[in-house]
Structure 1
Amino acid sequence: MKQALLTMTLAAAAVSATFVTLPAMAADTVVMLPIAGALAANDAQSKLGDNVKFYFGDQPTPKVLSKITSDKTSQKTNGFGKAAEKSCNWVFLSAMLSLKKKAEEVGANAVINIVSNYNNKEMSSATEFECHDGAIMSGVALKGDFVKVAN
């Protein structure tokens, strides 16, 4: 009985080890996409509303009355079987909704200096965002300053 139990335990360990040592098969492609295209997709404009304004990179802003805080968001979505543009636009919207929610929580009416910030590496653009598209997941990370601007 002890021998049979030991044999079963060793067999289970060997199976577990097999699964643990399989190589990862994931692509990670950096995709640069237009912000305007992402904002035109998935009904983004109506979901974001107009209570909070968004300014990317070095876009000119109205006069900043006060800076409240800075923060970042990193969002992922299922990209399996989807075109990179489709999954990236979707996850970009998720990241923007996260920025909007934070702005509303802290009383900001704008998020300025928004930059892509994947793995804490900034990429600033007024017209494009960075998305990492993999075999299974797509991800967008954004960072910005939450402020009150003049209307």
Structure 2
Amino acid sequence: MKKILAIMLVTSAVAMSAQASDTKVMLPIAGAMAANDAQARLGDSVKFYFAGQTTPAIIKTLGSDKVSLKTNAVGKSDEKSCNWVFLSDMISLQKRAVELGANAVVNITNNYNNVENPSATEFECHVGTIMSGVAFKADFVRIGDK
């Protein structure tokens, strides 16, 4: 009986680990900004610049921070769940910028599991069986007019 129970436990553990996938997906930032009414939800009071993008002159650096959110991926395509959590992260960065008195978030860098993956055109999303996650690190600044 103990052997049968042990075999059942091992089989269950193997099955559960097989279901807990973590697939890295790179998706276009432009696509995420076009989805879920992202442009309208973010407005234009805070500007966003991903790593490698040219920014207007930085007047003052106000701090840095990280954001790492997840969303439900059940029954959604990778793109849909990733675009949704991308927007959630961006809203979080925007809120932090406002708290600090910043009018721009610059050097936005993919930072999943604290592994930097800078890109001016793509964001990194990790998709599992039930959750999708996006993580960024960024700097909050005051920029001058263009």
Asked if these proteins are the same fold (TM beyond 0.5), I'd say yes
2:23 to 4, 23, 29: 29
User: Matched residues in 2 for 1:104 and 1:66: separation?
Assistant: 14
1:138-149 equivalences under 5 Å are 138-149=132-143
Amino acid at match of 1:31: V
Structure 1 residue ranges (4+ consecutive) displaced by more than 6 angstroms after TM superposition: none
Segments of 5+ residues of structure 1 without an aligned counterpart are: 1-13
Deviation at residue 150 of structure 1 after TM alignment: 0.1
1:46-65 equivalences under 5 Å are 46-65=40-59
Amino acid at match of 1:58: G
Amino acid at match of 1:89: N
1:3-14 equivalences under 5 Å are none
Deviation at residue 126 of structure 1 after TM alignment: 0.5
1:129 to 110, 116, 123: 123
* TM-score, normalization by structure 1: 0.85
Deviation at residue 81 of structure 1 after TM alignment: 1.4
Aligned-residue Cα RMSD (Å) equals: 1.4
* 1:98 correspondence with 2:92: yes
* TM-score, normalization by structure 2: 0.88
In terms of Rg, which structure is larger? Answer: 1
